[in-house]
Every structure is written in C-alpha cells, then in structure tokens.
Amino acid sequence: MINWRSWDRAIVARIIGIIIVTTVAVGLRVWGINQLGYNTDEAVYAGQAAAIAKAPILKDIFPIFRAHPLLFQFLLALVFAFGVSDLAGRLVAVAIGLATVYMTYRLGKLLYGVKAGLLAGLFLALMPYHVVVSRQVLLDGPLVFCTTLALFFLARYAMTQRPAWIYLTGVGMGLTFLAKETGIIMLGAIYAFLALSREIRVQIKHLFVSALLMALMILPFPISLLLAGGTRSGKNYLVWQLFRRANHPWDFYPSTVPEAIGFLVIIVGILGLWFLRNEKSWRERILLCWILVPATFFQIWPTKGFQYMLPIAPPIAVLAGRAIARWWPEDFSIFSLRIRRSWVKTLTVLVIALSIFLSSVQIITPATTGMFVAGTGGVPGGREAGEWIRNNIPEGATLMTIGPSMANILQFYGYRRAYGLSVSPNPLRRNPSYPPILNPDMQIRNGDIQYVVWDSYSAERSTFFSEGVLRFAKRYHGRVIHTQSVKVTLADGTVVDKPVIVIYEVRP
C-alpha cells in the first residue's frame, strides 16, 4: 500500500530543493553581472559574434575566424542580430551555465538518486569556479556544458547498454569540439573508462557509428575554414600553441583550482570514495576518468589558463553529492547523546554551501584596489575608455596599446583599430590572431598611428613595454586627451581616484 503522506513529503522536499538550487544559481550569476565591461577574451568572442551578425564597423575590425571553433559565437550572433550588447552576451553565457547546473543534477540523479543529484546541482550552483566562468562571455562555459552532456550520455549507455546512447555520446563529443577544440581530450576519458570497465561491453561497429557522428558534427568547422581561406591561420595557431613558452609555473593549477572548486567539496568527495569503497562500481570509475584525464593533460601541457580545468567541476560535485547522500546510513551516538544522521547531513551541506557561497560572492565582487582580478567579469574602466574613444576620436584613427589585451577591449567598445606593442614580430612567439607593430617610429611618423594608450593592468604584467609606450608618447609630443580613473580604497580606508587608462595624442 502506498504511503501517500510520505510520498507527498518527498515531492515537496524535491520541489523545495530544486527551487533553492535554481535561486542560488541564478542569483550568483546575474548579481552585478554588468558592473564592469568585457575583459579581453570576452571582447574577442563577442567581436566575432558581432562580425557574424554583420554589425556595422565591428564586422570590419574583428575577423570571424580566429583560433577556435564558432559554436558559442554563432549562438551569440543570433542575439546580436537584434543589436550588440555586452549584457545580452553575458546573459547567454549565464543561460548556458544554468543548463550545466541542470545537467549536473540529472547526472547525479541518474547515477545515485534524487538526493545526490540535488546536492551535486547545489554544489555546482554555488561553486566559485563555475560561477566565475559562467558569468563571462568565454568558450569554457559552453565547453563544460557539452562535456557534461556527453558524460550523461555515456553514463546512460553504461546503464542500459543501448547503442543509441553511445551514438549520442559521439554527438556530444562533436558539440564539445565545436565549443572549444581542447575538449577533444575527453575522448581519452571515454577510452579509459571503456577500457577499464569489463562489465560494459561495447561493439566496434557501435563505436564506429559514434565516431562517425562526432566527425559529422565537427565537419562544418574545417569546411567553413577552407572555404574562407583560413587554413593558413589555423596552421599558424597550431604551431604557436605547440611551441609557445609556458605561461605559468607548474604549480599553477594545484594552487588555484582546488580553492576555486572548494576544499570542502573535494575533501567530502574523496572521503566518500574511501568510506563507500564497498559500493564501488563503474559509476565512480566514469567520474574519476572524467576528472583525471583532463587534469593530467592540462597539468602536463605548458599552456595554462584558470578556466581550462572547468570540465572536472561537475563530476567532482556529483562525487560530493554522492558522499553526503549515501554516507552515514544509520544514527549514531557520542557518549550518551544520540545523533540523527539527518542532522549530520544537513549540517555538512550547510557548512559546505556557506563556504563556497562566501567564496563566490567575494570573487565576483569588483575589486576596490585598482588591480585587475581575473574572473570578476571585466576590466574596470575599459568599457568607459572605449566609449569615450568612440565618441571623441575620429573614425579611421589607429591606436597603439601596451599589449593586445587592452587593444581588444578598446576595439570592441571604441570602434577603432588598436595594436599591441608587445606582440612579437616572430611568428613562433605570438598569437597569429594579432599582427605586430613592426616599426612603431615609422608608423607614428607616417601618421599611421595617431594615439598611444597606457593602462595600469598591462603595465603590471610588462614594465618593459609599458615604459616603451610612455617613451613613444614622450618622443612624439604626446598630449593627454583623456584619463580614465576608477575609485580605489587605500590601506587606511581612504577612497581616491586612480588613473587606470591614459590616452595620448601623438604627432610626428
């Protein structure tokens, strides 16, 4: 006989859980989302989308084809067809991030039940690592959605052994590549899982069909590159990626990613693997393969970026959700005090949730020190300086900046071409997307460059090229025509205006 009262309570609890997860996921991703303008990567991807949407002026400044596939940029272009807006672009990124939270819930529910799924969704909804990236117009947000989708399809195949699910896994991997080509390394995770799981039998013909579907999904990108004549640029980018110098020390990921995921989330997930080791199955194996393969690859790969490890976040959240949902099967006692397991689980969830929630709030709050912190959603003063350039500098003018980062931002908001002094003339040592300034003196004398821009963010990373820009400004009678400042708080609590971007007009 069905206990309707118990069944009703379970439904109500599930609905309340979904509401809580959805609320915190949306709140953290839209709170203050447009306080700052785009950072350099956001400007590049939004500029590509604007070019696809044939936005006036921007379509002539930003090339459609650069280094990466264009799945996300095409989605943005559908929105930009109604007008280019940095807020609209970020809201698209937020929507994809929310879809990833939902897929994490579905994955946890599929593997370990509703409670584990809700907890996994909650942890990802609050996780600083995912919150930070999913607020920005970056490729890694769509990438992690596609990798989680492929993981879900693969788990369904392992559970049902139905060929349709391995076929869909191939489709998911095709989408993963189109989101960002580095996602192709997840093929290694799929291979490792199937190779280590003898209980899961997969036929070669099914793998062939899956690989064919993946190839068909990817095929439009190389064909469009070929038709657009962009194959040379693609080869140059590949060479640059293979031979570029390491941009961070070896301990970059160990020192940044665990904190961004949440130490308590990781610890609970690991403890769950140990204390629930008697329940081990292919479920834990598939999650571990999805974590270890990309973590190993990107640790070895010399090029490192804060968001590159993001695909490991959903499976870690699922492991943490599994640990809390299935651990402490019975009540226990300390001395004469009887402690209910529900109290322990609730307290554990609250402590973990509060810790990562506070970390997320801290990291998405714009800094007041005047220093650019990666992940806060943009560069203070960049949008305002670009808009000033658009309204006050003649059309067709060209700017020289310290590096390509500020050049991208000023081009997107200012509608004027800008080039970075720090871009190397050696093709092996530069991103082929950025043309170098081969002879700054001659270009200024000839009137090809009329404005020089100094910014504090680039200056902190490269004092050599910062001094070079100031030297050219002084040599060619630079006159300050605009200074963009931001309010910063000093150590003694005093609030002052700090110049962060200075625009000089230079003359031969």
Distance (Å, whole) CA 200 – CA 281: 11
φ/ψ of residue 496, rounded to 5: -130, 165
Distance (Å, whole) CA 362 – CA 262: 13
* H or E element, residue 339: strand 337-339
Distance (Å, whole) CA 355 – CA 352: 5
pLDDT of 18? 83
Average pLDDT over residues 261-278: 94
Q: Which residues contact 42 (CB under 8 A, 6 or more apart)?
A: 86, 89, 90, 136, 137, 138, 378
Cβ atoms within 10 Å of 64's Cβ, excluding its own: 18
pLDDT of 307? 92
DSSP string, 475-497: HTT-EEEEEEEEEEE-TTS-EEE
* H or E element, residue 220: helix 220-228
Q: Is residue 74 helix, strand or coil?
A: helix
Angle between helices 263-275 and 313-326 (to 10 degrees): 60
Q: How many residues does the chain have?
A: 508
pLDDT of 374? 46
For 4-67, give the secondary structure using H, E and C. HHHHHHHHHHHHHHHHHHHHHHHHHHHCCCCCCCCCHHHHHHHHHHHHHCCCCCHHHHCCCCCC
φ/ψ of residue 65, rounded to 5: -95, 125
Tens digit of each residue's pLDDT (9 = 90 or more) over 374-399? 444 578 899 999 999 999 999 999 99
pLDDT tier at 1, thresholds 50, 70, 90: very low
Angle between helices 86-112 and 140-160 (to 10 degrees): 20
Residue 226 or 402, more confident: 402
Most confident segment among 17-21, 56-60, 315-319, 442-446: 315-319
Average pLDDT, the chain: 89
Least confident of 129-143, 296-310, 316-330, 373-387: 373-387
Distance (Å, whole) CA 90 – CA 59: 20
pLDDT tier at 373, thresholds 50, 70, 90: very low
pLDDT of 221? 86
Q: Which two tokens stand for residue 349?
A: 């969830």
Rg, Å, the chain Cα set: 25
Q: Is residue 15 helix, strand or coil?
A: helix
Q: What is the DSSP letter of 278?
A: G
Residues 70 and 178: beta-carbon distance below 8 Å? yes
Residue 409 or 495, more confident: 409
Tens digit of each residue's pLDDT (9 = 90 or more) over 319-368? 999 999 987 666 555 666 666 777 778 888 999 999 999 999 998 887 65
Closest by CA to 172, choosing from 190, 191, 192, 197, is 190
Tens digit of each residue's pLDDT (9 = 90 or more) over 149-197? 999 999 999 999 999 999 999 999 999 999 999 999 999 999 999 999 9
Instruction: Using CA atoms of 210, 213, 214, 219 in order, give the dihedral in degrees to the nearest 10.
Output: 160
Distance (Å, whole) CA 432 – CA 448: 21
Q: Which residues contact 55 (CB under 8 A, 6 or more apart)?
A: 80, 84
Distance (Å, whole) CA 449 – CA 472: 11
Q: Which two tokens stand for residue 453?
A: 């821009």
Q: Regarding beta strands 337-339 and 332-334, do their DSSP bridges make them parallel or antiparallel, or are they unpaired?
A: antiparallel
Residues 398 and 448: beta-carbon distance below 8 Å? yes
Q: Which two tokens stand for residue 343?
A: 């109290």
Residues 198 and 244: beta-carbon distance below 8 Å? no
